[in-house]
C-alpha cells in the first residue's frame, strides 16, 4: 500500500511492549482508515481494523480491543481470534483467513506507514 502521510502514525513512546492500539491513517489518499497497531519488542505490525469474517471493526469501542488469556486479538462482534505475529485467524468463524496487513516501519522512534518516512539527512 502506498501512502501520502507526511506525519508519523505514532511515537513508540505511546506504544508499550505487547500493546495493541488504534490509529487513524490515510491510505493511498483515501479517507482515514482505522488501523490496529501492535508492538512486540522492536517489532511493530499494523492491520486494518476490520475482521475478515463480516467486515466489522475488531474493537468493541473505539480503540478498545479484547485480548484472550493467550494474548490473541479477539473480534468483539463474533469472537474470531487472531495471532499477532502475522494476523492469522486461529479460532472462530474466519479460521484460516487473516487480517489485512498494512506495511509500517520504525524510524527515529516513530512508526510510519512504509515509504512515508522522510529521508534521513
Residue with more model confidence, 10 or 3: 10
Look up the CATH number of domain 10-65+100-113: 2.102.10.10
Average pLDDT over all residues of the chain: 90
* Cβ contacts of 17 within 8 Å, gap of 6 or more: 39, 40, 41
Q: Is 32 in contact with 48 (CB distance < 8 Å)?
A: no
> What band does 5 get if pLDDT is binned at 50, 70 and 90?
low
**What is the helix (H) or strand (E) element at residue 90, kind and residue range?**
strand 89-91
Using alpha carbons only, how large is the chain's radius of gyration in Å? Answer: 14
Strand pairing report for 110-113 and 10-11: antiparallel
> What cell numbers appear for 68 in the block?
484472550
Whether 78 has a pLDDT exceeding 60, the answer reads yes
Contacts 24+ apart (CB under 8 A), 13-18: 13/109, 15/39, 15/44, 15/111, 17/41, 18/71
Note if the pTM is more than 0.85: yes
Amino acid at each position: 500500500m502506498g501512502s501520502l502521510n507526511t506525519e508519523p502514525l505514532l511515537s513508540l513512546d505511546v506504544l508499550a511492549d505487547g500493546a495493541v492500539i488504534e490509529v487513524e491513517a490515510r491510505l493511498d489518499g483515501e479517507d482515514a482508515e482505522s488501523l490496529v497497531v501492535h508492538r512486540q519488542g522492536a517489532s511493530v505490525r499494523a492491520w486494518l481494523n476490520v475482521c475478515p469474517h463480516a467486515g466489522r471493526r475488531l474493537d468493541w469501542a473505539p480503540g478498545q480491543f479484547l485480548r484472550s488469556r493467550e494474548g490473541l486479538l479477539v473480534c468483539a462482534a463474533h469472537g474470531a481470534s487472531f495471532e499477532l505475529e502475522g494476523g492469522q485467524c486461529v479460532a472462530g468463524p474466519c479460521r484460516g483467513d487473516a487480517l489485512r496487513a498494512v506495511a509500517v516501519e520504525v524510524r527515529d522512534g516513530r512508526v510510519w506507514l512504509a515509504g512515508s518516512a522522510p529521508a534521513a539527512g
